[in-house]
Structure 1
Amino acid sequence: METLDWIVVGAYFFVMVAIGLWSKNRIRNVVDFFTAGGKMPWWLSGISHHMSGYSAVMFVAFASEAYRLGLTVYVWWALTIGVGVGIGSWLFAARWNRLRAKHGVASPLEYLARRYNVPTQQVMAWSGAVLKVVDIAAKWSAVAILLRGFAGVPIEVGILLVGVVTMIYSVMGGLWADALTDFGQFIIQAAAGIVMFVAVAAHFGGIQFLWEIWDQLPADRSQPLNGDYTSTFFLALFVIKTLEYNGGMWNLAQRYMAAPDGAAARKSAMLSSFLWLVWPLVLFFPMWAAPLIVPDLTNAGDAYIELGKVMLPVGMIGLVLAGFFSHTMAMVSSDANVISAVITRDMLPRLWKGARRMSQDAQLKLARITTFLFIGLSMAIALSLDTNGGVLKVVVDLVAATMGPIAVPLMLGLLPWFRRMGPISALTSTLAGLTVWATLYISQQNGVKVPKEALVAYPLLTSLVLFVVIGLVFSQRTPDRDQLIDSLSTDERTTEPGDPGEPARVAAK
């Protein structure tokens, strides 16, 4: 990287911190910190939802798969998410928003204490929090690998550099800072992606490269499913991503909660769905063409780095690198905010009675402290991760494989068709699904060959079947749970017993 590239990167970091400082003035209480007070425009919510859904892992782990296997990475990753979010725009988006508007919910897990019970809520909170901190550690490693590849910056320095900047604006500005930086990052990342796309098109002599490269690549590169990515893997991941990207990944539920009403939340989901279907194609085509430009790479994870070095002029490398940063910082800042919400609203009040009596100012201070600690812990774990293939293993073998059992009760509990399912269904399905995953994962680490499709599909299938079957056999339907579920069907105001008309925080009965 040249001096101009570093100026571009430095300017990007400065803008992100400035947005955090500006957003700090919009935060008056803990609800503003976690849900933007329900005042976020639908288009900003939709862009933030999209940007918070992926990170620099795309340019390391997924770029590696695109380089090695071709089209399949779009099919099993971006396509499943785009279609899944589109489905969720009608099933889930508005329901998340109504939890905030009608029940004062500020954390995606807050409603679980009433929908199931407190033990179920706590199991979901603790297991999800542990999963998320490891997931984010993988994202730090991915962006540090890119920084090392482009600029020769040591992995440790890269993690600290990007992590500290993210920590500053996330702690200060809460969800408003997350969403506004997401928008700024979306613009930067769009410019960076288009620059790379145009450079590759120019290399091949025009836009016709979109269809001509497939004749020059091995035949299997144009297959929708290739390598370890089978139809079983695809179907399992489609269900997982539908649950994950509609709220199973807690930070994405926050984007729907932050919209003004259910109709706006649905529009934001539809915008995010469209972006997921279209924008990854712009990013992936250079990766698919990379074997023709930088062939025979020893480490396929360096494909985008080597492509950038060959294709981009001075100054543009800094812009593309800032685009890489934007993905990771968007995801991490939103994850840090939602984890802080879960700790502040769901976990600490059960462990420490004093947390229930905190003033608004004290709660806001606690939220900022937990945000700081979460980002710091994820950075510490990232420093110990294997950066040679370890990023993809964390994202697929750990995060995707365990997301299903954790998300099934959380997401299906919002829908009226599953009103018979209570705490027995929720706890059993989650614990059994995680047990199946742990058994398969440990076996894999001990040398037993476990297909990728089995590691992802079996825990999900176990959780889904048990959740439904146990609920049908042992119905735990109650009037209070019915009232909660029915209140999420429309934006019309409903008044609960003892509620004078204002939203009341969901509480366990």
Structure 2
Amino acid sequence: MVLMGAIGLFLGRYVKNINDYFVGDNSIPPLGGAISNFMSLFSTFVFVAYAGIAYEYGLVAILILWSSVPPALIAAKYFAHRWRRAGLITPMQFLETRYNAPVRQILSWGGIGFKILDSLVRLYSIGLFIAAATPLSLETAILVSGLIVVLYTVLGGIWAVVVTDAVQFVILIFSTLILLPLSIKAVGGLDNLTLTIPAHFTFFNGPKGTPLFLLGYYVMVLIKYNGNWAFIQRFYSVRDEAAGAKMGLITAAFFFVFPVVFLIPAIAARSYIPDLADKEMAYVSMCLRLLPEGIMGVMIAAMFAATMSALSATYNVVAGVLTEDIYKRLISPYALGRNLLLVARGSTFLIGILVTFGALYIGNFGGAFEANKLFTGLFAIPMSIPLLMGILYRRPKPWGALVTIVAGIIIGLILNQDKSISWEAATLLQIVICILIMVVSGWVPSKNPTYEARVNTFFKKLATPISAAEKPVVNEVFMRSLKYLFAIAMSTTAVLFLTMSLPSITKLSGQLSFGAGTICLIGAGILWVQAKSKDKKAISALPEPEAITYQQN
């Protein structure tokens, strides 16, 4: 946690305006953006909610989690270039041009509310994990976790989010890779596990493996993720369209590979701990049974890192909407510079505090997975469809967007109250109705020539590739500083793994942790050498100072 705060403090020195704070001067590299996308959309929620599904039904949990792959692929193909060419600071900024001011404000305010609800579930999940693995109560775990995330996020803006995401990614991946072989060994190998619980090794086991449920869930996630503000933010924060497409493809690869690593231990828990009372505690229970205390501490840090990433990304992008789309648009249109930056940091703090205290009440909604599913169905779908269709197609009208939002939420409320209608049927029906409203609005001709001209100009901009002059000039000094920062962070991570491995070095868990630390140390060394080499090249490229001659009088 000290490391994350230090990174935020260091990068905060480079934040001079809201463009730096929310867009990173359009200099986020594709790999860094992909890691940040991956970490922002994953959190401890995966190790609680999806782990519970894996424990109860098996591989279907991985199939459900693979629903994250299509959104990334579609974003790479159809959305990446559009988001970058739109030239945004926030995901809501284009809505006033594309539709009108009321649509922008309704989606801004409504989106803020939904993002807060979504963050409540994520913070509740990390609270469950920490409470199960430490002596802390659930309430204390939520409060401590939430306040730490708030304090670190306020400091450094999107660069702090992306850099800490990368460090947290390393901690998370190595920690979960330690548990994976330990879990397989504990149940006598994969062959023995498949013989013990054969039904768990089919992709369509249980009620969540039915074609209708999977169709509903995949379509919902496709809309939700592509309408996710943090997901969109990464695409308009890169250098150009090609970088955005590359980032989307790398993100899809991460979403495909790592769910297997994350959820196999929870499936193994069904054989190893068959009488587990709370299924959502499957992953943490395997950690407690198989990891020594020191390495368990690393795992807690990894789980916390995952949620920190998701929350910090949300806080940053929501603060952007509060600052640019609400404060600057409605309250202080001429605000500039440090004033806006102060508002941005204050907004980040306010959102974080609301989420921290609101997460204490999520248990009343029936668990993490059910709460997330409920909130998504009610709000994400009707608010994301106008956003996505608005940047893809020029025909849908402002009134169509407004009716879609209102009708979609009302339909969601009605269908979720009717117990005779399944969640998947209700979700698909809601999606179809929302899309139909948008399509019908496109058939109705507009009588406003000013609106038509504005929309045509906007879509002409989306069809025009970014020119060389519009692409940011890479700040080589900053990039070298980043390499040094990554090297120091990786060294610190290496020390963490190496130190925690020593008490159990004779066991497989300790040896795996030692190996993870060694790899991190080698990576840190490579980054440091690369940064040093670039420093030397930069110095050698400087012109020789002119000789100074002195004349004698």
TM-score scaled by length of structure 2? 0.81
Residue pair 1:139, 1:328 contacting (<8 A) in 2 also: yes
Alignment-mate amino acid for residue 219 of structure 1: A
Q: Which of the pair has the greater relative contact order for Cα pairs under 8 Å at 6+ separation?
A: 1
* Equivalent residue, structure 2, for 1:240: 220
Match of 1:90 among 64, 74, 77: 77
* Equivalent residue, structure 2, for 1:271: 250
Q: Is residue 443 of structure 2 the alignment partner of residue 456 of structure 1?
A: no
Q: 3-state SS of the aligned residue for 1:106?
A: coil
C-alpha separation in 2, matches of 1:220 and 1:143 = 26
Match of 1:188 among 171, 185, 193: 171
Alignment-mate amino acid for residue 422 of structure 2: P
C-alpha separation in 2, matches of 1:432 and 1:376 = 31
Q: After alignment, is 159-168 or 190-199 more displaced?
A: 159-168
Q: After alignment, is 473-482 or 140-149 more displaced?
A: 473-482
Q: Is residue 63 of structure 2 the alignment partner of residue 99 of structure 1?
A: no
C-alpha separation in 1, matches of 2:378 and 2:246 = 29
* Equivalent residue, structure 2, for 1:471: 442
Which has the greater radius of gyration? 2
The number of equivalent residue pairs is 469
Residue pair 2:187, 2:272 contacting (<8 A) in 1 also: no
Q: Deviations over 1:341-373 (max 9, x none)?
A: 111111223442xx2121210000000000000
Q: 3-state SS of the aligned residue for 1:420?
A: coil
Q: Deviations over 1:274-294 (max 9, x none)?
A: 000111111111111110111
C-alpha separation in 2, matches of 1:241 and 1:68 = 22
C-alpha separation in 2, matches of 1:475 and 1:85 = 34
Match of 2:396 among 421, 430, 441: 421
Residue pair 1:401, 1:459 contacting (<8 A) in 2 also: no
Q: After alignment, is 270-279 or 390-399 more displaced?
A: 390-399
Q: After alignment, is 185-194 or 256-265 more displaced?
A: 256-265
Q: Is residue 110 of structure 2 the alignment partner of residue 127 of structure 1?
A: yes
C-alpha separation in 1, matches of 2:239 and 2:19 = 14
Report the Cα offset of residue 218 of structure 1: 4.9
Match of 1:368 among 345, 352, 355: 345
Alignment of 1:70-469 (within 5 A): 70-76=58-64, 78-100=65-87, 105-206=88-189, 209=190, 212-219=192-199, 222-224=202-204, 226-246=206-226, 248-352=227-331, 355-386=332-363, 389-415=366-392, 418-441=393-416, 443-444=417-418, 448-469=419-440
Q: After alignment, is 481-490 or 106-115 more displaced?
A: 481-490
* Equivalent residue, structure 2, for 1:482: 456
C-alpha separation in 1, matches of 2:219 and 2:153 = 31
Report the Cα offset of residue 205 of structure 1: 4.7
Report the Cα offset of residue 125 of structure 1: 1.1
Q: Is residue 11 of structure 2 the alignment partner of residue 23 of structure 1?
A: yes
Report the Cα offset of residue 204 of structure 1: 3.9
Distance 1:437 1:163, change over 3 A: same
Residue pair 2:69, 2:253 contacting (<8 A) in 1 also: yes
Q: After alignment, is 271-280 or 384-393 more displaced?
A: 384-393
Residue pair 2:365, 2:371 contacting (<8 A) in 1 also: no
Residue pair 2:204, 2:210 contacting (<8 A) in 1 also: no
Residue pair 2:81, 2:241 contacting (<8 A) in 1 also: yes
Q: Is residue 465 of structure 2 the alignment partner of residue 491 of structure 1?
A: yes
TM-score scaled by length of structure 1? 0.88
Alignment-mate amino acid for residue 142 of structure 1: S
Q: Is residue 26 of structure 2 the alignment partner of residue 46 of structure 1?
A: no
C-alpha separation in 1, matches of 2:70 and 2:464 = 24
Q: 3-state SS of the aligned residue for 1:92?
A: helix
C-alpha separation in 1, matches of 2:155 and 2:71 = 33
C-alpha separation in 2, matches of 1:289 and 1:253 = 36
Report the Cα offset of residue 23 of structure 1: 1.1
Residue pair 2:51, 2:283 contacting (<8 A) in 1 also: yes
C-alpha separation in 2, matches of 1:234 and 1:475 = 38
C-alpha separation in 2, matches of 1:111 and 1:274 = 29
Residue pair 1:405, 1:463 contacting (<8 A) in 2 also: yes
Residue pair 2:95, 2:387 contacting (<8 A) in 1 also: yes
Distance 1:502 1:153, change over 3 A: closer
Q: Percent identity?
A: 28
CA RMSD, aligned part only?
2.1
Report the Cα offset of residue 21 of structure 1: 0.6
Residue pair 1:401, 1:456 contacting (<8 A) in 2 also: no
Distance 1:49 1:490, change over 3 A: farther
Give ranges in structure 1 of 5+ residues lacking alignment: 1-12, 496-500, 504-509
Give ranges in structure 2 of 5+ residues lacking alignment: 473-553
Report the Cα offset of residue 481 of structure 1: 0.9
Residue pair 2:187, 2:271 contacting (<8 A) in 1 also: no
Q: Deviations over 1:416-452 (max 9, x none)?
A: xx211120221112221111001123x25xxx34412
Q: 3-state SS of the aligned residue for 1:385?
A: helix
Q: Deviations over 1:369-417 (max 9, x none)?
A: 00000010011111222178432222111124531111111112111xx
C-alpha separation in 1, matches of 2:202 and 2:234 = 35
Residue pair 1:56, 1:139 contacting (<8 A) in 2 also: yes
